[in-house]
Structure 1
Amino acid sequence: MDMSQSIGTASDLVLETLKAGLEIEFGRGAGEALAHRFLEAEEADFRWDARVEERWIGTYESADDEDFELDRIAICGRLDGRWFCATMLVDGDGNPHGMMGCRQFRSLVRARDAMLHAH
Structure 2
Amino acid sequence: MGSETIWFLPMHFPTRLIQLRKAADLTQQTLADTASVHVNQIRRYEAGTAQPTLEALIRLAQALHVSLDDLVFAEGERGPSDDLRLRFEAVSHMPEAEKSVIKALLDGMILKYQASRIMGTSSNQASS
Q: Does the pair score TM above 0.5?
A: no
Task: Give TM class, smaller chain.
Answer: under 0.3
Ranked by relative contact order (alpha carbons within 8 Å, sequence separation 6 or more), the top structure is 2
Using the size of structure 1 for normalisation, the TM-score is: 0.25
More helix by share: 2
